[in-house]
Structure 1
Amino acid sequence: MTFSIVARCARTGQFGVALSSSSPAVAARCAHARAGVGAVASQNVTDPRLGPRGLDLMAAGTDAPAAIAALEAEAGAHAPWRQVTAIDAQGRVAAFSGTRALGRNGHLLGTDAVAAGNMLASDAVLPSMLAAFAASPEAPLGERLLFALEAALAAGGEEGPVHSAGMLVVDKQAWPLADLRVDWAEKAPIARLRELWTLWQPQMHDYVTRALHPDAAPSYGVPGDP
């Protein structure tokens, strides 16, 4: 029901997750990232607790492979239903896909990225995601994550239509640099996510300035904003 990518930008140190699903509000349950620590996606029959737990482990110094092994062990009898991916601050990647993951499923480890999915329409989906992510290393991380989602869709995506999509990117602050979600669309949620990114990306760093240095923040001409 989901295809996803977790990734790091080696140039900026940012971490991100992008994903799409036939289920509603996929990013609310499945996307997890923490500045300076890494990113985790928890999907298939989702346990949202696994994302924060994985980030806590990596924040304490556990690398991504050991964190994933710990999550699988802690899941116990429920592990076969889980699918979890992770990347840590050094770019180490890891994943597991339980034996009861749905349909055509799996994960693929790449450089600074992991792709995973279930109920996939073809075996080309995951390699296409990693290839699209790797193709533009100088692009902003959010752009590269969107390239990966769009490549997944072009390679077949899910067996059925997707209805939600999301992107989470963290940089240097405790809050997300980008947290964009299309929680439900009858069609084309990834295209709608692209529209949100096109709107948000040119001004996202200005909102960080607003938080840290309000005296230097730009005006956008909204009511009450001189």
Structure 2
Amino acid sequence: MTLSLAARDPETGAFGIVICSSSPAVAARCAHPRAGVGVVASQNITNPALGPAILDLLAGGANAETALKSALAQEKYPDHRQLTVVDTQGNTAVHSGAHSLGVHAHAQGDGAVAAGNLLADESVIAALLSGYAESGSDTFEERLLDGLDAALDAGGEAGPVHSAGLLVVDDVLWPVTDLRVDFAEEPLADLAALWQIWQPQKNDYRMRGVDPTRAPSYGVPGDL
């Protein structure tokens, strides 16, 4: 039903996640990045509360593995949850419960972790991680998307994908990239198209929040 890649950009310290699913609005429920703290994917039979709970533990000084274990110790149904975590040091942790749906797998890399369930094949997750790690793209977001493309080329999910999301947090409290396709026939193509629109404006919108006196015009009717 869901596959995701969570990572820390070693060049900037930004955290990001790319995710897709056959169910609607996957990013709203399963993707949890927090600037200066870490990133969590809470998926499978999703408990969205686990994302903020793990991030709070990371913010309190726990590393990825400790935060994950502590949250699972308080979770009533850990065998039904699939979770991934990346912390500020690039440490990763992952949990795929015994009742993870269908063909499921996870893989950990250098500052990145991938996981999925109801997959076409277990090799999809290895492809997701290697597609990101081996990407030569210039931006963090594009490297995350390259990972997702590699996973789809390897078979992706067992069923049709209907929603997708790409979130990145960096040096401000809000996401510098937060792109979502909540339900569509071709959500991954739509997500890639959204990134092409967002990329040239990303830094402008960041600046509008930081210092509107230095921000460029909005480029809309009535904006002088």
TM-score range, shorter chain: over 0.9
Query: Aligned to 2:90, what secondary structure does the other structure show?
Result: coil
Residue identity matched to 2:108: L
- Contact kept, 8 Å, 2:9 with 2:15, in 1: the verdict is yes
- Indicate the SS of the match to 2:75: helix
Q: For residue 65 of structure 1, what is the amino acid of its counterpart?
A: E
| Residues 32 and 41, structure 1, Cα contact 8 Å, conserved in 2 | yes
Q: Is the Cα–Cα contact under 8 Å of residues 105 and 122 in structure 2 kept in the other structure?
A: no
Whole-Å separation in 2 of the counterparts to 1:6 and 1:81: 20
Does structure 2 retain, via aligned residues, the 8 Å contact 1:39–1:88?
yes
Using the alignment, how far apart are the partners of 2:127 and 2:137 within structure 1?
A: 19
User: Take 2:87 and 2:223, find their aligned partners in 1: how far apart are those partners?
Assistant: 39
The one-letter code of the counterpart of 1:217 is A
Match of 1:145 in 2: 144
- Which letter maps to 2:158? E
* 1:142-181 correspondence to structure 2 within 5 Å: 142-181=141-180
**2:49 pairs with 1:49:** yes
Q: What SS class does the counterpart of residue 24 from structure 1 fall into?
A: coil
Q: Distance in 1 between the 2:15 and 2:222 partners?
A: 34
Letter in 2 for 1:27: A
1:115-174 deviations in whole A, cap 9, x for unaligned?
000000012211111111111366211111111111111111110110000011000111
- Taking the aligned partners of 2:15 and 2:81, their CA distance within structure 1 comes to 22
- Taking the aligned partners of 2:151 and 2:72, their CA distance within structure 1 comes to 26
With normalisation by structure 1, the TM-score equals 0.97
Equivalent-residue separation in structure 2 for 1:191 and 1:105 (angstroms): 24
* Contact 2:137/2:143, CA 8 A, preserved across alignment: no
Cα distance between partner residues in 1 of 2:101 and 2:137:
35
Corresponding residue for 2:189? 191
State the match for 1:80 in structure 2: 79
Residue identity matched to 2:95: F
User: Which of 206, 209, 212 lines up with 2:207 in the alignment?
Assistant: 209
Matched, 1:224 2:222: yes
Q: 2:30 maps to what in 1?
A: 30
- SS of the equivalent of 1:168 reads strand
Q: How many residue pairs end up in the alignment?
A: 224
Between the aligned partners of 1:48 and 1:69, the Cα distance in structure 2 is 16
TM-score under structure 2 length normalisation: 0.97
Deviation at 1:212, TM superposition (A): 1.3
**For structure 2, which runs of at least 5 residues remain unmatched after alignment?**
none
In 1: Cα distance, 2:63 partner to 2:137 partner? 26
Give the aligned residue type for 1:67: A
Displacement of 1:220 in angstroms is 3.6
Alignment of 1:109-128 (within 5 A): 109-128=108-127
CA distance in 2, matches of 1:220, 1:165: 27
The runs of 5 or more residues in structure 1 that have no matched partner are none
CA RMSD of aligned residues (A): 1.0
Report percent identity of matched pairs: 55
Question: What letter corresponds to residue 187 of structure 2 in structure 1?
Answer: P
- The reply on whether 1:64 has 2:61 as its aligned counterpart is no
Counterpart of 1:177 in 2: which secondary structure?
strand
Hey, which bits of structure 1, 4+ residues long, moved more than 4 A? Answer: none
Partners of 1:201 and 1:17 in 2: CA distance = 16
